[in-house]
Amino acid sequence: MMTIREIKRLYRIVEVQLRYGLDDFIPQDPRSELPQKIRKSLFWIKNEYPDKPLGERLRLALQELGPVWIKFGQMMSTRRDLFPPHIADQLALLQDQVAPFDGQLAKRTIEASLGCPIEQWFDDFDEVALASASIAQVHTATMKENGREIVFKVIRPDIKPIIEADIKLMYRMAEIVSRLQPQARRLRPVEVVREYEKTLLDELDLMREAANGIQLRRNFEGDDSLYVPEVFTDYSSVNLLVMERIYGIQVSDIEALKANGTDLKLLSENAVNIFFTQVFRDSFFHADMHPGNIFVSYEHPHDPQWIALDCGIVGTLNREDKRYLAENLLAFFNRDYRKVAELHVDSGWVPADTNIDAFEVAIRTVCEPIFEKPLCEISFGHVLLNLFNTARRFNMEVQPQLVLLQKTLLYVEGLGRQLYPQLDLWATAKPFLEDWMSRQVGPQAIIEAVKSKAPFWAEKLPELPELLYDSLRQGKVMNQRLDTLYDNFMDSRRNQGKARFYFGIGATMMVCAAILFGDHVTTYPAIAAGAGAVFWLLGWRACRK
């Protein structure tokens, strides 16, 4: 049962949506007058902002509902191929233009985390927020010791209870859906909510974000395609992140990028390569790549450099998932639908008893019409949606470990198409995947395996003589034991032969004694019976040896 607090929050969500007139998103059914009658009833909450565009009303509603809903709006804002401009443009404002909280409160929060006044370590603190997002906001300052420009990222006060309440409500709704809609169970809504909860709560721990940023910076050390700002961990804590201030052009500001002479085609292709490098080379990828977190350096516009901020959400994949994902994408690029179907079964994404032939036909039916378009016009978002809808007919379960990857890939495609609408995602990704796969199988894979194991073998090399001596000694002992077992076995075989011989004579003597007794002979039968008993005892003794 839902608690009173959860019911109130659910009512609040519905109330806000109706107050901003979001019921306009519900399709009108001309065959039924019931929806119109419900809208005109007394209990229906009327739209209080009929003069505002629908996109603006959606943005304001999500902003009022809090961080869980703002994050959802941020994700939708990157899908300009799925949402019209008047919706996407408004949702883009959620990325870094959320209403800030008081600057004095932010300063007190920072000082509480530092354990001292800001002025002890920093100058020029600006109480006006540089940027404000759903979970944290940013203020600028300079370091006293060297004059370096830095930013403070500080968590919004009292944000955690709000997130926990919404997540708890989402759990309730997921459980209700699972019970009332048996077909939805294979989508694993509870597991999906759990994964979403983990990513949101991870964002509340800025030390985790600091560690993620340090690793991502290290992964691209010496690679000019991506820059990650330096983190100053001596001043950072769970509620406060202190990092290098960067200057760049926000990736959504297309006009500014063009004015700077940025090669937009190369920039969009680099986005795809950076994403696949993080996924397949590093198994560690930035999973919150909405435009509010991505900038482009002013320098070298003809060889543009991406700048990644906000590493609070990162994703990882294990070796098996990476292998199946790469093979699935390559099979799809090559239109090998049989391979796609088999890989779904082999990976466990669909049940093992799935009819491969029927699954292949269903995938081909969905994909072939898509390939009739030029590759640059194909939306990977639509492809994923169509494939998942097809796989669900074959009882595919949602894979929580792939949810972040799917979301991030949609972000990357959205960014790439926004920068360069003619981006051919397939042509950019396919060579990368083919090269990665060639390094997983064949001679190159063997060389890489030898390289990775070489330090371990070098460490064990001095121990080899002793290990060889121990192996030979153990082999000698094992041979001796085998010889002993063999001798015992042969002795047992010989003893068993003696026993059978004695039992046979004993049985013969007993039979003769019985026959003689039947003929009323008295002396010889007793001697035969006694001899038979002796041979039986000898046979029993032979068995005991």
The catalytic site residues sit at: 288
129 secondary structure, DSSP code: -
Q: Identify whether the C-beta of residue 360 lies closer than 8 Å to the C-beta of residue 319.
A: no
Give the separation between CA 104 and CA 101, rounded to whole angstroms.
9
Beta-carbon count within 10 A of 386 CB = 16
Tokens of 160: 């955690």
Q: Nearest-CA neighbor of 267 among 428, 433, 92, 89?
A: 428
DSSP string covering 87-129: HHHHHHTTTTBSPPPPHHHHHHHHHHHHTS-GGGTEE---SS-
Tokens of 255: 């006009």
Q: Identify whether the C-beta of residue 298 lies closer than 8 Å to the C-beta of residue 247.
A: yes
Residue showing tokens 């003589």: 465
Burial of 74 (0-12, 13-18, 19+ CB in 10 A): buried
Residue showing tokens 């435009």: 291
231 secondary structure, DSSP code: B
Helix (H, G, I), strand (E, B) or coil at 93: coil
| Residue 202 main-chain phi, psi, to 5 deg | -60, -35
CA-based angle 285:289:295, to the nearest 5? 115
Tokens of 240: 């406060």
| Residue 237 main-chain phi, psi, to 5 deg | -155, -175
Tokens of 290: 């909405």
Helix (H, G, I), strand (E, B) or coil at 483: helix
Tokens of 50: 């009929």
| C-alpha 52, offset from chain centre | 39
C-alpha torsion sign, points 367, 370, 371, 375: negative
Q: Nearest-CA neighbor of 411 among 304, 258, 252?
A: 252
Beta-carbon count within 10 A of 117 CB = 12
Beta-carbon count within 10 A of 168 CB = 17
Q: Which residues pair with 150 in a beta bridge?
A: 141, 244
